[in-house]
């Protein structure tokens, strides 16, 4: 519980705010969007109901902040992955795929929360706007890389837009598979399926097994 006698510093306020948002993610993952109550969030965060109200005036404000937090986290993870991958478009695209299925991003809980928010996006313009911006940023990053692959490899029969849309659809579909059948489908299988698709399109660039796939084969 927050101390009533001494105000929190700016850093501690940020930590407490994040603590409440992370508790909200857990509660949505467990109870669903409609079943999320501020009292449950407070209990999960181990703070009083009043502390939650101090940081977020309404439940809607808390939920929007939670969606923004997830979007910022997702964007930062894939941007960091791309930055570390270097200049090769093949390495950068592989890095994005690894990021999409990393445990930080693609945990069962967070995928459930993403789908909960997506289901609410149509009637809620602020959700729809945030999700659309996230999609656009990601789309243009992937399309830029795909266009580089097409030009460098001379794949004149491929369309960068169509390839990017297909990749996005595969990722979304495999996230759904991870959510509804986690015991029968895992991240490695998802990444291998995407790698197979990319090998068909870009045989020279994706002829070699990805690092996770190679590691599994070596340990088999």
Q: Which domains does the chain show, CATH number per domain?
A: 10-57 (1.10.10.60), 59-207 (1.10.357.10)
How much is the pTM?
0.84
Burial grade of 104 (CB within 10 A; 0-12, 13-18, 19 or more): exposed
Is residue 171 within 8 A of residue 100, CB to CB? The reply is yes
pLDDT tens, residue by residue, 173-218 = 999 988 888 777 888 999 999 999 999 999 999 986 544 444 444 4
pLDDT tens, residue by residue, 56-74 = 999 999 999 999 999 999 9
pLDDT tens, residue by residue, 30-50 = 999 999 999 999 999 999 999
Q: Determine the Cα–Cα distance for residues 187 and 191; give it in Å rounded to an integer.
A: 6
2 pLDDT higher than 60: no
Quick one: pLDDT at residue 26?
96
3 pLDDT higher than 60: no
Q: Determine the Cα–Cα distance for residues 38 and 95; give it in Å rounded to an integer.
A: 37
Is residue 149 within 8 A of residue 205, CB to CB? The reply is yes
Band (10; pLDDT cuts 50, 70, 90): low
DSSP 8: P
Residue 25: name the closest of 143, 87, 105 by CA. 105
Band (6; pLDDT cuts 50, 70, 90): very low
Is residue 22 within 8 A of residue 31, CB to CB? The reply is no
Helices (H), 86-186: 89-100, 108-121, 125-153, 160-180
Residue 8: count of CB within 10 angstroms of its CB = 15
């Amino acid at each position: 519980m927050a101390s009533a006698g001494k105000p929190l510093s700016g850093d501690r306020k940020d930590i407490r705010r994040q603590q409440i948002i992370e508790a909200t993610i857990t509660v949505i993952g467990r109870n669903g969007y409609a079943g999320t109550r501020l009292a449950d969030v407070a209990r999960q965060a181990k703070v009083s109901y009043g502390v939650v109200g101090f940081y977020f005036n309404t439940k809607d404000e808390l939920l929007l902040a939670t969606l923004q937090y997830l979007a910022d986290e997702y964007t930062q993870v894939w941007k960091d992955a791309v930055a570390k991958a270097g200049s090769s478009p093949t390495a950068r695209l592989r890095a994005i795929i690894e990021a999409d299925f990393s445990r930080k991003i693609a945990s069962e809980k967070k995928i459930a929360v993403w789908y909960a928010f997506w289901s609410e996006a149509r009637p809620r313009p602020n959700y729809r706007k945030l999700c659309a911006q996230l999609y656009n940023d990601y789309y243009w990053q992937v399309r830029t890389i795909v266009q580089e692959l097409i030009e460098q490899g001379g794949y004149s029969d491929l369309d960068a837009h169509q390839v990017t849309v297909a990749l996005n659809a595969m990722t979304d579909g495999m996230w759904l598979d991870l959510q509804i059948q986690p015991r029968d489908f895992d991240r490695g299988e998802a990444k291998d399926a995407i790698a197979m698709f990319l090998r068909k399109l870009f045989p020279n660039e994706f002829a070699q097994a990805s690092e996770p796939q190679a590691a599994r084969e070596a340990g088999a």
